Copies of this chain bind each other. A is one copy, B any other.
Amino acid sequence: MARLSDVIEKFIKSLLEESEGELELQRNELADYFECAPSQINYVLATRFSVSHGYYIESRRGGGGYIRIVCLDVDKNNFLHYLVSEGIGSRITEHDALHIVQRLLEQNYIAPKSAGLIKSAITDKAIGIPSTLKDTIRANILKSMITAVMAWQGK
């Protein structure tokens, strides 16, 4: 079965496109529309629209309350540079690393093939060895690959 959370995610993203990266919505209304618990909206926002996903959320409670989602626009080079110099750090989990690559893909900083290539290099399975060193190695490789991407400028 298709996950409801994924459907809601897509829905919000399509709304965001129509409204040029900024959007205000009503939590209960949306929950009603999808016939789910209101807190599921929070779940979707937390797991798919966090800052690390490239979004910023603000909200207000009480009568006339709302949730506003803003699509952050970051400069590609700044972002890549930030990742290599501080974002990734000296160790990174598989989950966090894949998340970064997915973001690079969604922001169109890299092509799907490149994303696939990078992802394939940083999974636990790829690295193979069972050791705490894994996260260190992964960080090194990911930074190295992103550095290669930075060097692509203009082909």
Which of A's residues lie within 8 Å of B, judged by CB?
A: 1-3, 6, 63-64, 112-114, 116-121, 123, 125-129, 131, 133, 136-137, 140-141, 144-145, 147-149, 151-152, 155
Give chain B residues whose Cβ lies under 8 Å from the Cβ of A125. Answer: 144
Sample of 9 A–B contacts (CB below 8 Å)? A1-B64, A114-B114, A117-B117, A117-B149, A118-B121, A121-B144, A129-B137, A133-B133, A137-B137
| Complex contact A127–B137 (CB within 8 A) | yes
Contact A145 B128 (CB under 8 A): no
Q: Is the interface of A mostly helix, strand, loop or mixed?
A: helix
Nearest CB on B from A7, distance (A): 10
Contact B121 A129 (CB under 8 A): no
Residue of B with least CB distance to A126: B144
Question: How far does the alpha carbon of A126 sit from the alpha carbon of B148 in the complex, in Å?
Answer: 11
Taken together as a complex, chains A and B put the C-alpha atoms of A143 and B61 apart, in Å, by: 28
Contacts of A120 in B (CB 8 A): 144-145, 147-148
